[in-house]
Amino acid sequence: MHHKRLNIMKRFNIFFILFLLNACVEHKFFFHVAPDGSYETRYSAHGDKTDLNDHDFSMPFGVEWTIHSTMELMEAESYDYSANKISRRNEIFPASFYNGDSIYSASLLKHPIAVTHSNWFFWEKYKFEGRFLGRKVESKYPLVRQFLENMENPPNGWVKEALIYLLTETLKRTDLEWNTRPIITAELNSWIEEELQSVSDSTLFEELDYYKNLGLDVIMQPASPILYNEMDSIIKTLEDELEITLKLSDDSFEFQLILPGILEFYNADSLAGDTLLWFLTIENYVNQDYILTAESGISYPGRQKWGIAIFIICGLLFTGIRIKKKRVY
């Protein structure tokens, strides 16, 4: 069992160190919606090569995107990546650009975006709605939330709190038998109180693999071996989730949007001419969902006048027919 978890534990220890060394990445999205409802997406990113390639925010790729990248060039301090695509009317935009199998979907940052167009002949409506799904950090590990607010002065015990969450949540999500769960829960709580709580932050940081291994042994030894794979999958999901959240702390996002017609509603940070702009960092979605929304419309007064005229004529004709029928009877 110890050998089976070795690679996971090594990765968990290393990501804290790599995270502190990562440079920031600037992500920019530009959406231009055409009157027929199709829309162009232009994405660009600038930053450290390692951070561009990791999975905290996977970049667009694939045959449907036109890609330009400088990451294959000679070594440099920073690199650029861009991707362009034309989407059909009401085409679904991906909630994540990651399509590998090394990270579970639940760990990823989800950013669903919908660009919708409705044509009612007399008027047309356009709606843009983007959503960065909240990471719910405050409810999972409050000290990690404080760490993200002030990384230069981290709160005492934030690594310990994160480790406790990983262990207790893994136990909570495992499909244990009803008579086994309270026994393992009591043993884990006892180990946390009697051993883990007395470990200093510096020691825990340096020997995180060791203490994580002890905690997992407390959980796994009393459990049935058929649950080991399930537990490994659960804790990997939780580890990846935390790692992605931490790495996102240095990523910034800028969204620009142009909609046809007259703007009717938006929550953008600013408006420059006909371009809506949003700027966000992890602070905007660290707990709750962050929503970007805008609506516009095109009205056709000429069609509306003809529509009213036709409606009146039809009404008069209908009324006349009814009157004639009454006279006949």
- The string of pLDDT tens digits covering residues 289-315 is 999 999 999 976 665 555 556 667 776
- The string of pLDDT tens digits covering residues 8-61 is 444 444 445 444 445 689 999 999 999 999 999 999 999 988 888 888 899 999
When the pLDDT of each residue in the chain is averaged and rounded to a whole number, the result is 87
Q: What whole-number distance in Å separates Cα of residue 184 and Cα of residue 190?
A: 10
Residue 313 pLDDT: 72
Domain ranges of the chain: 144-246
Q: What whole-number distance in Å separates Cα of residue 89 and Cα of residue 115?
A: 8
Q: What whole-number distance in Å separates Cα of residue 302 and Cα of residue 78?
A: 54
Whether 89 has a pLDDT exceeding 80, the answer reads yes
Residue 44 pLDDT: 97
Whether 111 has a pLDDT exceeding 80, the answer reads yes
Q: Which amino acid is at 37?
A: G
Order of strands across the sheet with 290-299?
113-119, 123-132, 290-299, 262-266
Question: Beta partners for 261?
Answer: none
Residue 69, phi-psi category: left (phi > 0), alpha (psi -120 to 50), beta (remainder) = beta
Share of the chain above pLDDT 70, in %: 85
CB-CB contact of 212 with 12 (8 Å): yes
Residues 6+ apart with CB under 8 A from 126: 33, 37, 115, 116, 117, 259, 260, 261, 295, 296, 297
Half-sphere exposure of 311 (CA within 13 A, CB side): 6
- The string of pLDDT tens digits covering residues 168-214 is 999 999 999 888 999 999 999 999 999 999 999 889 888 888 999 89
pTM here?
A: 0.84
Token pair for 203 = 């020691």
How big is the chain by its Cα radius of gyration, in Å?
A: 28
